[in-house]
Structure 1
Amino acid sequence: MNGKKVYLKPNVVLEPLVMNWYAWPHLISPATLAMNIVGRHLKIMNSYIRSPEIHRKATLDPKMRGGPFMDYKESRQQEIRQLKQETIVQQSRQIELAEAIVELDEMIRRNAKGASMESLYEKVPDLLKGYVELVYDLNNNASFRLFESLLYNSEFYNKSFQSIALWTTCNDERPFCLSVARLEEPGVLQLNIPFEHEGVDALSRMKKEAAPLEEIAALLNVPAEKRPLFNSLFTEEQPPAYNRYSGDKARMRYFGHACILIETSEISILVDPVISYYGYDYSVDRFTDADLPDHIDFVLITHNHQDHILFETLLPLRHRIGTIIVPKTTSGALQDPDLKKMFNAIGFKNVVEIDDMEKLEFGEVAVRGIPFTGEHSDLNIRTKSCYHVAVEKFTFLLMADSRIVEPRLYGHVHDLIGDVDVLFLGMECDGAPLSWLYGPLLTEELSRDKDQSRRLSGSDCKKGMALVDIFRPAEVYVYAMGQEPWIEFISSIKYTPESNPIIQSDKLIAECTAQGRVAERLFGEKELLYSYRNRQVSKLQHYEK
């Protein structure tokens, strides 16, 4: 095999890590990384070291799914203890940055009472001097904004923490990824390369294009003792070629969760690419990366949550993506990192920001940013956008996890864009509390009752029907429910028929059906064809591969 051109096996996982923790967006931006090291990683490791048996029992309890528990037996205790010590030494500056952010926040609360804050700059922790601006809102509530661009160009953005783990998989079973550090495992090859490394693109291309094994091994600097494992990740078997869609309709493919592919013969748009990326036998029908175009013109990102931005699929697709469109922000708030800066930092070159109601046109297709409310626990976060996609006059409205807290907002939107043909609505209406995702960023503990009231929730039936009544779609699809088995390791969701999101979405589907609309809760895969020129709809209810 060494002298021949080979392909990467279809079931090879490219797992991005930051200091042995599964990489998600808050581990890229320097400030949120610092806060997660202290408020998540060290806390979980300390807890496991004290009581590994409690962690093991918790991971076996379905009620504790998604909690801060490591899925390791007691025998791994020493390895976690070693990782903790390495973290304290190697990420010492990031730990100091987190401590400085907490100190800054406390200083502002003590001293900023409505008078000029210019004199307070002397009290800013030395580590943060020159990286922050002190600000009031119009009600004299004091805060600070970060100069994120400067932090990315400082010692606090350290690419040496990034690595890639390669391994093969044969099923969807994986522990909840945000709570488990990656330890040494047989059959797992860790490459100490940053996410922007050209070898990531070269390796990913080999899923479809054969290349010399020796060249890719040299590019990735694979150690000699790891070559047998590395060689086992490749095959001489050529994968099936992708047949680009060439019909005269707009084709919609549902890839699971919130991932939608809209194609015409001229253009392809992929929304929130969290997909089943690997080829193996499975019980739930699905599209995989083999069903994606060889070139994806546009990727739309709705918001900065790990089940909508998954580096494990985005990094291998990077070489196939023309442009990434992300919500615009200039807030500088700790909880609201800039997505364009993040994607640029990890090697994505063509990243375009979109603002509320801004429209971008690409031939026969137009994409407009739509306000996204709720689902962020009432935090002031701007990096979120729903999308209105028009293929000529045929329109899709993708609402992601938006919670319709004030329907009149969308009445104003409707005044500008009119009715839509197809509506996609997230209805995970029992979302986790604020602390589950944003807890490490809080500098003061939030009481349990307040925490439980501020949830990462999508719309229920009442709120969803308000949107249906406003935009009067012909078809309504509930999505972004996290039900697919390949999503569980990142979402931790597993519903029963008695789960409130299922009950609420069933109710919405029934109400829409009673009104004469096509309505369905999506699961697994689906393909639909739309005659957008004469606006007739042709439905293919189940796509047989």
Structure 2
Amino acid sequence: MTVGPKTYLRPSAAAQPLIHRWYAWPYLIAPHTGALNLRERILPILRNYLDAPERHAEALANPAFYGGPFVNPGPAGPAGVTALLEATLREGRDRLALADDIDQVQELLDRHATGGSLEPLYAQLPDTLRGCVELVYDNAHRAGCRFFEPLLYRRTASDAQHQVLSFTAAPERDQPFVYGSPVLPRAGRLDVARPFSSPLWDALFAARLDPVDARELAERLELEPDTLPDFTALFTDDAPRPAAAVEPGRVRTRFFGHAAVLVETAGAAVLLDPLIGYADDGHEHFSIADLPARLDAVVISHFHSDHFSLETLLQLRSRTDTILVPRSSGGSLQDPSLRTMLGVLGFRNVQELGELDAVRVAEDVEVVALPFLGEHADLDIRTKMVPLVRAAGRTFLFATDITPLEPRLYDLVRDTYRQLDALFIGLECVGAPLSWLYGPLLRRPAARRDNESRRLKGSDAAQADLLAQRMNAQRVFAYAMGLEPWLKHLTGSEYDPDSEQVRQSRLLVERCARRGVPAELLYIRAEHSWSAVD
């Protein structure tokens, strides 16, 4: 093999993880939730499109319908969607069987779990779930099953052969919404079918900082010769500029968009909820090129796809020492384990934090997990936390999408910090209804009124201001509202100065100003600096 020149992965090179040609959001990755989403969400969307492609085209022509279940097939057209549907039915047989078997277990419990022993029911479990579930009652004698998730990942339902990384040399400017449309093959898009856990992805993404022989890497990835031009187009001779260092004695926060914030001292770096855009997408924002070469920790606040981005995490796997995630409830359908999932995806040091657990990730940086109320449509979901980061004597609270339903909770946690230097709080105060995300996982549909009342929403201005007062926050930042234009295909939102969310952010700034507290809406890009405190 001839040794070729070494080049760098372009800062604009985009890499989207796909499962069955759909963007790999968390509830599609896990075997049991992925099976139900495949049957209850993906197949109906594809079939609905093929029944009336013109209706989907009409809906997509109206910006008000962006974020709905409407397929944009691009150049592939209806023939491409037909081919995808046929391939999904064929290649997704095991997952679809698992979805049917989950229903069978629930029906078995409905018929026979009337308060007596559940032991006789184990012999009636479908084969795909034998050894993978425990049948249980809660303390009101309602029956359910608990999944042994590590064992589910070993079954054929999670076969990694359906995992693809789809590359473009630059991010697409106008992508369809990821919950509503698949990513179909097209010219200029290079699809590489290899498990997300493969260490070869680490070798590829490390090339953002350290050059590689692209042709040799293509051989290791077993790419077809005719794809080599598209692969080498992802690389450049230009060395990356070094990330700007933090001055000694300072603490810096950098806002990368949505809920992604980097907290740095001169010797440590912690990244929260990384959902990070690429260079050359038409907007002047921080990108992966602005991250330090090493991250002491990545912190995931909760399981939603705008906070847990596999697309970003895969690119950081080789440069991250530790990933901190909230502790799961232990096997419930609606609450998969992030630690289990990340372990299967090839991440090596994943630590779970329960309420008020603290972990020191560097000499001068500590992360504390505070309770998280609201935003999950009243479901029993425990894989969520409000991270509090103490860095060089400064303290920052990342209240992402919470709703402070019980303010006294925050009175009880004030002893976890000396002074709260900044509160970052999500003001997505409208939110989607329960079924928008969790519909495929529900045993029966919620009544329309209940579905609308149980929303995936965060705080409004009054709630955020109350929280800031109770926690004596010295500065307030509104964020995590899905406004950044380069994230529209992931969040389904865009900046609208007349939207309720943006209006509430203005009200919050006004409320804080009346109390003499600086406040602002974080949008596109922001950086702030504090002096370290002994």
Task: Output the CA distance in 2 between the equivalents of 1:31 and 1:128.
Answer: 10
Q: Are the structure 2 counterparts of residues 297 and 211 from structure 1 closer, same or farther at C-alpha, using a change threshold of 3 Å?
A: same
Which amino acid letter does the alignment assign opposite residue 223 of structure 1? E
Structure 1 pair 397–452 and aligned structure 2 pair: CA distance change class (3 A): same
Q: Judge conservation of contact 1:53–1:73 (CA < 8 Å) in 2.
A: no
Work out whether 1:500 is the aligned partner of 2:500.
yes
Letter in 2 for 1:348: F
Q: For residue 478 of structure 1, give the secondary structure of its aligned residue in structure 2.
A: strand
What runs of 5+ residues in structure 1 fail to find an aligned partner?
535-545
Give the TM-score taking structure 2 as reference length.
0.96
Aligned to 1:145: 146
Structure 2 residue 437 is matched with structure 1 residue 453: no
> Which amino acid letter does the alignment assign opposite residue 349 of structure 2?
N
Give the CA deviation at 1:256. Answer: 0.8
Give the C-alpha shift of residue 501 in structure 1.
Answer: 1.4
Answer whether contact 2:215 2:228 (CA < 8 A) is retained: no
1:2–1:213 CA contact under 8 A, matched in 2:
no
Q: TM-score when scaled to structure 1?
A: 0.94
Three-state SS of the structure 1 residue aligned to 2:520 is: strand
**CA deviations over 1:11-48 (Å, ceiling 9, x no partner):** 11111111211111112211011111101111111111
Give distance in 2, aligned partners of 1:123 and 1:100.
Answer: 11
Tell me if structure 1 keeps the 8 A contact 2:389–2:396. yes
CA distance in structure 2 between the partners assigned to 1:281 and 1:36 by the alignment: 30
Provide, for residues 219-274 of structure 1, a one-character-per-residue CA deviation record: whole Å limited to 9, x for no partner.
11110121122222222222223343343111111111101100001110000011
Q: Give how far 1:74 is off.
A: 9.3
Aligned equivalent of 1:85: 86
Tell me by how many angstroms 1:2 deviates.
8.0
Structure 1 residues 440-479: aligned runs within 5 Å: 440-479=440-479
- Asked if 1:523 is matched to 2:492, the reply is no
**Deviations 1:376-429, CA, capped at 9 Å, x for gaps:** 111111110111111243211111111111111112122454541110000101
Cα separation, 1, equivalents of 2:242 and 2:477 = 30
SS in 1 for 2:328: coil
Matched residue SS, 2:204: helix
Alignment partners' CA distance in 1, 2:229 and 2:368 = 49
SS in 2 for 1:185: coil
Residue type matched to 2:156 in 1?
E
Note the aligned Cα RMSD (angstroms). Answer: 1.8
CA distance in 1, matches of 2:302, 2:465: 23
Secondary structure of 1:322's match? Answer: coil
Query: Residue 296 of structure 2: SS of its match in structure 1?
Result: strand
Partner Cα separation in structure 2 for residue 307 and residue 28 of structure 1: 15
CA distance, structure 1, for counterparts of residue 531 and residue 75 of structure 2: 59
Matched residues in 2 for 1:308 and 1:242: separation? Answer: 23
CA shift at 1:130, angstroms?
1.9
C-alpha distance in 2, partners of 1:459/1:243?
33
The separation in 2 between residues aligned to 1:7 and 1:363, in whole angstroms, is 32
Q: For 1:139 and 1:404, how far apart are their aligned partners in 2? A: 28
8 Å CA contact 2:366–2:391 kept in 1: the answer is: yes
Contact 1:255–1:286 under 8 Å retained in 2: yes
Partner of 1:400: 400
Please name the residue that 1:308 is paired with. Answer: 307
Determine the structure 2 residue equivalent to 1:540: none
Across the two proteins, how many residue pairs are aligned to each other?
Answer: 532
- Post-superposition CA distance 1:405-456 (Å, at most 9, x none): 1111112122454541110000101001111111111221222211111110
CA distance in 2, matches of 1:323, 1:281: 29
Verify the 8 A CA contact 2:353 2:369 in the aligned structure 1.
Answer: yes
| SS across alignment from 1:27 | helix
Moved more, 111-120 or 3-12: 111-120
2:104 aligned residue: 103
> Quick one: distance in 2 between partners of 1:292 and 1:74?
35
Q: Per-residue deviation at 1:281?
A: 5.9
Instruction: Determine the C-alpha separation between the residues in 2 that align with 1:428 and 1:2.
Output: 52
2:301 counterpart of 1:293:
no
- The corresponding residue for 1:175 is 176
Aligned with 1:144: secondary structure? Answer: strand
User: Which deviates the most, 316-325 or 386-395?
Assistant: 386-395
- Could you report, residue by residue, the CA deviation over 1:517-542 in whole angstroms, capped at 9, with x for unpaired residues? 010111011111111226xxxxxxxx
Question: Are the equivalent residues in 2 in contact too, given 1:52–1:72 (CA < 8 A)?
Answer: no
**CA shift at 1:106, angstroms?**
2.4
Structure 1 counterpart of 2:426: 426
Give distance in 1, aligned partners of 2:281 and 2:107.
54
How far apart are the structure 2 equivalents of 1:153 and 1:405? 39
Establish whether residue 323 from structure 1 lines up as the match of residue 317 from structure 2. Answer: no
For 1:15 and 1:74, the matched residues in 2 are separated by: 19
Structure 2 SS opposite 1:372: coil
Displacement of 1:465: 2.0
CA contact (8 A) 2:33 2:334 kept: yes
Contact 1:56/1:72 (<8 A) preserved: no
**Percent identity of paired positions between Structure 1 and Structure 2:** 38
CA drift of 1:318 comes to 1.1
Q: Is the 8 A contact 2:169 2:233 kept in 1?
A: no
Runs (5+) with no aligned partner, structure 2: none
1:538 aligned residue: none
1:67 pairs with 2:68: yes
Structure 1 residue 495: Cα displacement: 4.1
Q: Is the 8 A contact 1:399 1:424 kept in 2?
A: yes
Alpha-carbon contact 1:52-1:74 (below 8 Å) kept: no
Instruction: Indicate the SS of the match to 2:45.
Output: helix
Deviates more, 1:2-11 or 1:380-389: 2-11
AA paired with 1:139? A
Aligned match of 2:24:
23
Match of 1:541 in 2: none
CA distance in 2, matches of 1:164, 1:75: 19
Task: Give 2:384's aligned residue.
Answer: 384
Aligned mates of 1:100, 1:78 — CA distance in 2:
31
Q: Distance in 1 between matches of 2:285 and 2:342?
A: 27
What one-letter code is carried by the residue in structure 2 that aligns with 1:358?
Answer: D
Distance 2:230 2:388 in 1: 46
Distance 1:403 1:115 in 2: 39
